[in-house]
Amino acid sequence: MPPTPLYLDDALIAVDKPAGLLAVPGRGADKQDCLWARLREHFPDALVVHRLDMATSGLMLFARSLAAQRRLSQAFAERQVAKRYVAVVDGRPAEAQGRIELPLAPDWPRRPLQRVDPEAGRPARTDWQRLAQHAHSARLALQPHTGRTHQLRLHLAAIGHPILGDALYAPPEVQARAPRLLLHAEALTLPHPLTGAPLQLLCAAPF
């Protein structure tokens, strides 16, 4: 079923990607069902701008022309796009907010996993803020300033607060505490690709 746009104009489409659905096609005939393919059923001009992990839900943008795709891709590359995620993590961070700066690199023997690598890793930075806490978990707002693969998942696991439901970086007992990865792309703020005016897009987390 094609997703319902959260925002739509002549330049771009914003939609809410469900958890468990690929953002774009993968390798093999069994990995062709994805958000992009479903969206193109109603919007055949939709073009990919960025991606979310299969396990992550939330805001994804698609361009509606090559010119808009170039401008949006440039905005992401030049870090003109502010991103905010929400996650529920194991444990309760001692501080109300913090910054994680740990370089990340592919863990080639265990692909698709990534690893913290002080020598060969690429710089990665995540700011976080505690929104709420419970007996054995906390709800965090996350702002990634870089876009490394699995950055939020690995950064939080590395500081001892893996995301609930994370099948890659959480221990089995933490993974089992949620039916899905509790990570959601909640907000994007960016310059509109045609007008340059600030555009803020919001999509509340389903958890």
pLDDT at 124: 97
Q: Are residues 140 and 67 in the same domain?
A: no
Q: Are residues 74 and 102 in the same domain?
A: no
For residues 60-72, give the mean pLDDT.
97
CATH number of the structural domain spanning residue 153: 3.30.2350.10
pLDDT at 31: 79
Evaluate the CA torsion angle 129, 131, 136, 142 in order and state its sign: negative
SS3 content of the chain, % helix, strand, coil (to 5): 15, 35, 50
Q: Are residues 49 and 106 in the same domain?
A: no
Last residue of one domain, picked from the residues 27, 57, 81 = 81
**Rounded to an integer, what distance in angstroms lies between the CA atom of residue 13 and that of residue 155?**
30
Last residue of one domain, picked from the residues 81, 96, 114 = 81
Q: Is position 71 within any domain?
A: yes
pLDDT at 2: 74
For the chain, the average pLDDT equals: 96
Query: Is-contact 21 33, C-beta < 8 A?
Result: yes
Domain count within the chain: 2
Q: Are residues 67 and 105 in the same domain?
A: no
| Catalytic (active site) residue 45 | no
Q: Is position 19 within any domain?
A: yes
Using a pLDDT cut of 90, give the percent of the chain over it. Answer: 92
Confidence class of residue 26 from pLDDT cuts 50, 70 and 90? confident
pLDDT at 80: 95
Residue 54 has pLDDT above 90, yes or no: yes
pLDDT at 29: 77
For residues 39-54, give the mean pLDDT.
96
**Rounded to an integer, what distance in angstroms lies between the CA atom of residue 158 and that of residue 152?**
10
Q: Of 53, 117, 127, 166, which is the active-site residue?
A: 53
Q: Is position 60 within any domain?
A: yes
Residue 182 has pLDDT above 80, yes or no: yes
Rounded to two decimals, the pTM is 0.95
Domain range holding 173? 84-183
Which tokens go with 168?
């890659």
Alpha helices in 24-183 (DSSP H): 35-40, 66-77, 151-158, 172-175
